[in-house]
Structure 1
């Protein structure tokens, strides 16, 4: 402030017209010096607003500057509207007074960090203020509290409400010196002001001749007026400072420990009013005393006088003191005035120097990360990294091992890091809910919660594998973070769990990839990974499940994954990590936050899918042509709906996140023509005579098959075309010819414009050239053969016309004659094959062999494997009255006897499609004891089908004494406790048949031994064997622990059952094994009663004698 008067001083020095020193000093010193004392507004306001103690007030009052400002400030702070009217501030907002003059903060006045330091503003900025003990506890966690928590025990109870806005200037903005310097400044000020007064006294009393006023001694009033005025002025300035300083209450809190600091976290891009403030993270020194200044209204009365009266007295005291000092200075020698001016300037410099050290740019701990942190709202993530000394935080890519392994590593750093970030977010409160991280976490929580609802009542633990790297070392530590999940909770309860993980993950990515900016937000790609599939298979899979997918072309622009992220990257990034050759990269539209949230969702959904029980969700194809076909599955659609409705991403991104988990858990099938549900869907189209849709869909599926499935799918597709040829409607047959022509002869003339293409060109996975040529040739043979057969047996003009059209497009003649043109036998077999195909042949004998056997021999010997499979599909899929399940069973046995393994494999593959047919054929083979054929068929089936099939075979074989079948199934681990609809097990059936060998074999391998299991009527295996008189079986069962007194149907025992068939050996044996002869059935009849009434020809004498010898008696109702 004094600097503003320096130019004026020189101007006056140049312009002065006095000749002597007195004239100059009288014009300058005696007039200007008091004016300087009177004003000095900005420095005075600064000192008043930063006063926190009486010592500050004393320093302020010594050799004061800004008298008028101090008086006005006292009135502004403590005066009523009437007093404020005298200074032109009657309607002044109290907030502006707080902002300018007080050190306190309140709901209307706050402090905020800016680029230039601490600014006092009107509003309520978002600033987190916490106390952190940087010395970790035994578990590695940091103790983090809010300032109010340490203030409760050291402050009045009403302070907690006022402690929300932080005092930044008193604790961080000003580097306050130690109290020593304040005491030194006060002593210096007292000495300086006393020195001026002593100097004035000496100029009057001792050196009067040297310090005369205009050649005469100074007036007698001057010295007393100066001394009294100076004292009154200092006292008045002290009271002015005191009333301003005491209007805000100061509280001082020691840190809980010597390692504790106060941290401030200010979010970036924060707008308060019309200003935008940057991100800031700062802290105090360890163990520093924390100062809190809050608004405190003084009592209305003091010593029976109102505060307005006291204020008037203070103002009067100050102004009277200033006037008296001014008059006294005018009467004294000008050197006294200059001395007072000098003391004022010196004390002003002293007061300023006490708080001259302010906050520097380096005090913002964010440093170079400030812009990056501000743009993403990562202040809490940055602080968590800093506190835990972490370099990186990475979500591991999804793999089977990480998804299934939930064992924790010995490290706890991941747990502690997430809990620290979670604690910071908890203390930040609701003021931080508008960040991009919180919004993405809320969407993630909604998506996860909706997926949880797919399995109602489930409670399980979700696993997220995380890797962290510490700053001190390059060691990477992996830990599985576990999240307990319950459907009873609301989705909002999971936001606080996911938000810290998401924030740390995104910040780690941004920190490792500083080149990411706003221009890169929508240039991302995502990797699609599924275990045990190559890149080609993954692309085909996506084209089946996603209608419109955009693949990133790595040939034109090599794509690199972001550092610290192995699942997605940015096309504009040139410093990332090169992916694997098997990675399939998909262009996505989501932001970095959404993609990071999707990574977490992928892991959580993978963990969650282990608990899904709905493995039979329907799979089907929707759409009406190749451009709209898309595979759908109940599990996938439910999860996608939850994902999309939560706003976590679009349908493409949902499929990328969900499909890997569902495939790994086998919750969705492979999509091809061999998929059971899709075959049923195509069958429904055929039944509804929607052949064009069936053929188009089948062709679409063939085009998207991989190399392992394409040949089998083409076989199914070829059969569907041949099946359409058999339709009685001419138009449908004509349509099928167009599709067949795309296979057999795509270059034929007179083709339909809509179907003028080569199927081979459309296939994404080309079959082997030799196989394709064979497929075309045998497709040609069958198409011509079926048309010739129809023309022969159907003399309609349209049929002959169609045959001529087919021969024109596909080629004339009978292609079967190419094998042996002169052989009548070949022609005969050709006809027999078509008879079998159309179901018009029975079991006619040809050269002492059935026709079908000759046909099979001919097809196998000439390697017509495709025609052979089409025939088997036709026979197993359309069971004719003349070719029923028994005939198919005989065909299987014949193929097994001839070692036609490929025939067995085809039969097994196509029998598997029809559960009813499958059960019948397995039953027939088991009843016949054909273990060899059964094992050949079982060797072709999947485990899920095989389990049921073996149980059927076991039960049927046990019921028909087929020991070889029983033994073969036992060797393959069949469930010996399996039972049929009557709850009868294989043991019961073998016992009922008297099959001692089978019973012995089963008892040898069954575990646990539950020999007394009952059927639906309540009988055990022992009772059933006794009821049929199988003595040897009864002995085996009893020797193996069967209960001879166990009751069954009607309350009968095994002894009663043996008596009912008059089996004396069984009765004698059971009595020898302590069978109870006194037991009664439900009609209260004993075993003796049963022997008496066993037949129509009177009592069974042998049995009665044997029972009476054993002590048997009649029942009570019989005695009457």
Structure 2
């Protein structure tokens, strides 16, 4: 609890977790009842460390152990015990439990599938390991050497952890993969390791016991750290292997992740594995090329996960890990990987080996781009130029150019999702040196609403707010300028900064207000754009709307909290800007929202002075009707009447003289 309190943002002085206790009446014909028993922890003393009544815990543990021995004759001294993998038998029946066991927990002891009868009750997480029940394959368990009291104590710890983890929003800490002599690699989390050390230091069991208690609990609470091959720590470890020409180790590590991951973590890891195979096959080192080819052929032969679970020592039920959806997904992956590998390799023997699995120059359909097969062929060839050639390939055309846009169209419109993501990884690498390259790619992807392409770039660390060098615009601001509502939404949904500024400090909201894009202003406000930000000149979105006479936008901004009286660096307010452009309806709106009518710029000019200078009788009359001060003077000493006389505008002169009493 001391450890969890350090990680949590919540300040607690007391904490309580509850044990569910099944009470059997003396009359065995009556059904048992379930009661909850609370155990209290609190901070005390100068160091505010957490304490618990050890006698109470000892009493609960003793009573529980005694009741198990009393109620179930299979619990006897020396009887081997098994711990469930999961928080209940239902968890232990899932392929998901098998995956996170082999990813986070497995060190020495293999999990085994046994009869559900081995765990006697749904509220217990362990049971006697009975050989007569070992042939059925229903739930996943791990056989232990722990005595009954230790297993019961671990269950108490799991009950505590289930409640205590509610204080955390995320686990945090560093996540990595470490080499292991026994299991090739092991998943590592600095925070999980600290919990394990607490467990071991207090004699609750071994490291494997600790992980069996901690990892399923974190999984149930949604706190188990993400661990897939696209994470920066894993990519850095891959690059270190490559620097040392340890391609086998790098590829084995990513294959290890593919075997043990699920859902998005599996998808990301498979994509990175495929891209690393592609890099290996293009490497000048012959050993690297051979290792890449071997891994590709292995993937074409069989799903890496199925291959792994087929070869583990403890059998699994028929069809384990082999769902139709997964088979279809793996089939698409290997089809695109095989096509790319066939186009990369120059070895005829390797080509024939790949052809035996259906990979060849025509194993992917050329398809169409915008309904054209000719455009699709240009896109296909551009993809091969990027992915089937070495990184130092010289292009005989401008990059990025029309063929590169067609490459993006080809993989996106023909649903080649793996080629798309490999192409984005390649382009992200180029863009790290040439930001304008990435700006153009992001604008293309946003304009075509290619969400997958933008998401793939973001996962590779690409800044979606990259600015092009000439005008300093971001892809989001360019989409606003082009009034592409869907492109704006696409970028924002993938992580673009809604308040991201240009070199001049202009935000997307300011741009939309200036350009008169009402629907986009509505979208930005709905998604949380900050209303009162100022650009490098001190102008706000409201000021840009006032200057452009976009009254509907100005009204919307005011309704969403825009400050009507903020001044720019030269003292201009929205009212002053509207007056300078003779926008009568805008002035009426701003005055109705409490705009200060006599605000002055740094040179002392007021809205009334600007209206007089502009020879605009309607604005002068409106401002005077709202009691504008005709006696205000600018820095040079002149009044609004002086401005009207300088411009020789008789209507304004007459109005101002009357108001001045001249």
Normalised by the length of structure 1, the TM-score is: 0.46
User: Is contact 1:509-1:562 (8 Å) kept?
Assistant: no
Q: Relative to structure 1, is the Cα distance of residues 506 and 858 closer, same or farther in structure 2, using a 3 angstrom cutoff?
A: same
1:878 aligns with one of 402, 415, 430: 430
Q: CA deviation at 1:884?
A: 1.3
Structure-1 separation of matches of 2:84 and 2:161: 17
Which residue number in structure 1 is paired with residue 102 of structure 2? 543
User: Is contact 1:911-1:918 (8 Å) kept?
Assistant: no
2:254 aligns with one of 684, 689, 698: 698
Structure-1 separation of matches of 2:48 and 2:335: 61
Which residue number in structure 1 is paired with residue 481 of structure 2? 927
Structure-2 separation of matches of 1:585 and 1:834: 48
Within a 5 Å distance, the mapping from 1:1041-1060 to structure 2 comes to 1041-1042=594-595, 1055=606
Q: CA deviation at 1:1059?
A: 5.2
Q: Relative to structure 1, is the Cα distance of residues 1033 and 608 closer, same or farther in structure 2, using a 3 angstrom cutoff?
A: farther
Which residue number in structure 1 is paired with residue 38 of structure 2? 481
Does 2:341 match 1:783? yes
Which residue number in structure 2 is paired with residue 651 of structure 1? 207
Structure-1 separation of matches of 2:45 and 2:523: 50
Structure-2 separation of matches of 1:602 and 1:911: 37
CA-based RMSD of the aligned residues comes to 5.3
Q: CA deviation at 1:631?
A: 2.0
Which residue number in structure 2 is paired with residue 629 of structure 1? 185
For the pair shown, the structure with the greater C-alpha radius of gyration is 1
Does 2:384 match 1:834? yes
Within a 5 Å distance, the mapping from 1:572-721 to structure 2 comes to 584-612=140-168, 616-623=172-179, 627-663=183-219, 666-675=222-231, 678-679=234-235, 681-682=237-238, 691-706=247-262, 710-711=266-267, 713-721=269-277
Which residue number in structure 1 is paired with residue 298 of structure 2? 742
Which residue number in structure 1 is paired with residue 455 of structure 2? 908
Which residue number in structure 2 is paired with residue 35 of structure 1? none
User: Is contact 1:520-1:572 (8 Å) kept?
Assistant: no
Q: CA deviation at 1:931?
A: 1.3
Structure-1 separation of matches of 2:100 and 2:141: 13
Normalised by the length of structure 2, the TM-score is: 0.72
Q: CA deviation at 1:909?
A: 3.8
Q: Relative to structure 1, is the Cα distance of residues 818 and 741 closer, same or farther in structure 2, using a 3 angstrom cutoff?
A: closer
Q: Relative to structure 1, is the Cα distance of residues 1070 and 936 closer, same or farther in structure 2, using a 3 angstrom cutoff?
A: same
Does 2:494 match 1:494? no
Q: Relative to structure 1, is the Cα distance of residues 1088 and 974 closer, same or farther in structure 2, using a 3 angstrom cutoff?
A: same
Moved more, 450-459 or 922-931: 450-459
Q: CA deviation at 1:539?
A: 1.7
Q: CA deviation at 1:700?
A: 0.8
Unaligned runs of 5+ in 1: 1-447, 747-756, 789-802, 897-902, 1079-1086, 1113-1120
User: Is contact 1:784-1:814 (8 Å) kept?
Assistant: yes
Q: Relative to structure 1, is the Cα distance of residues 731 and 561 closer, same or farther in structure 2, using a 3 angstrom cutoff?
A: closer
Which residue number in structure 1 is paired with residue 370 of structure 2? none
Within a 5 Å distance, the mapping from 1:717-796 to structure 2 comes to 717-744=273-300, 761-762=307-308, 765-766=321-322, 768-787=326-345
Structure-2 separation of matches of 1:695 and 1:992: 59
Map Cα deviations across residues 176-208 of structure 1 (whole Å, 9 max, x no partner).
xxxxxxxxxxxxxxxxxxxxxxxxxxxxxxxxx
Does 2:371 match 1:816? no
Q: CA deviation at 1:509?
A: 4.5
Which residue number in structure 2 is paired with residue 1092 of structure 1? 637
2:129 aligns with one of 571, 593, 596: 571
User: Is contact 1:1060-1:1091 (8 Å) kept?
Assistant: no
Q: CA deviation at 1:1053?
A: 9.6
Q: Relative to structure 1, is the Cα distance of residues 559 and 1061 closer, same or farther in structure 2, using a 3 angstrom cutoff?
A: farther
Q: CA deviation at 1:844?
A: 6.7
Q: Relative to structure 1, is the Cα distance of residues 927 and 1069 closer, same or farther in structure 2, using a 3 angstrom cutoff?
A: same
Structure-2 separation of matches of 1:833 and 1:641: 50
User: Is contact 1:703-1:762 (8 Å) kept?
Assistant: yes
Within a 5 Å distance, the mapping from 1:240-319 to structure 2 comes to none
Q: SS state of the match for residue 448, structure 2?
A: helix
Which residue number in structure 1 is paired with residue 418 of structure 2? 866
Structure-1 separation of matches of 2:207 and 2:499: 40
Structure-1 separation of matches of 2:612 and 2:157: 69
Map Cα deviations across residues 667-719 of structure 1 (whole Å, 9 max, x no partner).
44333335565446545655776544432211111111236754553233112
Q: CA deviation at 1:657?
A: 3.4
Which residue number in structure 1 is paired with residue 440 of structure 2? 887
Q: CA deviation at 1:537?
A: 0.7
Structure-1 separation of matches of 2:58 and 2:567: 58
User: Is contact 1:525-1:585 (8 Å) kept?
Assistant: yes
User: Is contact 2:342-2:361 (8 Å) kept?
Assistant: no
Within a 5 Å distance, the mapping from 1:335-414 to structure 2 comes to none
Q: SS state of the match for residue 513, structure 1?
A: helix
Map Cα deviations across residues 58-107 of structure 1 (whole Å, 9 max, x no partner).
xxxxxxxxxxxxxxxxxxxxxxxxxxxxxxxxxxxxxxxxxxxxxxxxxx
Map Cα deviations across residues 377-408 of structure 1 (whole Å, 9 max, x no partner).
xxxxxxxxxxxxxxxxxxxxxxxxxxxxxxxx
Does 2:403 match 1:851? yes
Structure-1 separation of matches of 2:567 and 2:79: 68
Q: CA deviation at 1:548?
A: 1.0
2:7 aligns with one of 449, 454, 457: 454
User: Is contact 2:598-2:607 (8 Å) kept?
Assistant: no
Structure-2 separation of matches of 1:1105 and 1:804: 95
Structure-2 separation of matches of 1:911 and 1:1041: 44
